[in-house]
Amino acid sequence: MTSRDFLQQLQDSTLGVALSESIYMYPLVEGLHLISLVFSFGLILLIDLRLIGLFLPKAPVSEILNKLRPWLSGGFLVTFSTGFLLVFVNGPSLVNTWVFPLKLLLIVFAGLNAIWFEYKFGRHAKQWNGQTPKGAKVAGWVSLTTWSLVIVCGRLIPYMNGH
């Protein structure tokens, strides 16, 4: 089964049809996808800026990570689940161009970067003694760049795929 067939099946599914037929569901889901970005991408961005040293330099990274994590995770939960629903609505046209596959690839990359950061640096952040390790700074830059590109690709989807 090709990715096009798979996306067609999603679009033809009960959920896909219901989402497409409702007047209110699509704007609601898309609106939530955008608004939840403030919690997901927005808070990640602030953490990245802290790692780079451009935001709240006097606040310990461990504290920022711990205190923002629940809000950040909640945000990602909404962003991901609404994104998942949008795939049902948009169907095979999503693979008309490279932009959506690239977005998914970038999300995977950003996710791996986050896992690497957390495993290698984040969980020891209490022992940094005010000095951000070089690798953690690199992870911050990578995260900042990758997630920004994810947003750019996401915004390009309607232009590139003819919605």
Q: Which C-beta is closer to another protein: that of 11 or that of 36?
A: 36
Nearer to another protein, 7 or 140 (CB): 140
Beta carbons within 8 Å of 102's beta carbon, 6+ residues apart: 153
Buried-exposed string 27-58: b where 16+ CB fall within 10 A, e elsewhere: eebbebbeebbebbbebbbbbbebbbeeeeee
Nearer to another protein, 25 or 95 (CB): 25
Residues in the chain: 163
* Positions in the binding site for another protein (CB under 8 A): 27, 30-31, 34-35, 37-39, 41-43, 45-46, 49, 55-56, 58-59, 63-64, 67-68, 71, 151-152, 155-156, 159
CA distance 143 to 151: 12
In terms of CB distance, is 7 or 107 closer to another protein? 107
**Minimum distance from CB of 63 to another protein (Å)?**
6
Query: Minimal distance in Å, beta carbon 8 to another protein?
Result: 26
Count of CB atoms situated within 10 Å of the CB of 73: 12
Q: Residue 138 CB, nearest distance to another protein (Å)?
A: 22
Please give the backbone phi and psi of residue 24, each rounded to the nearest 5 degrees, phi first: -95, -25
Q: How far is the CB of 85 from another protein (least distance, A)?
A: 16
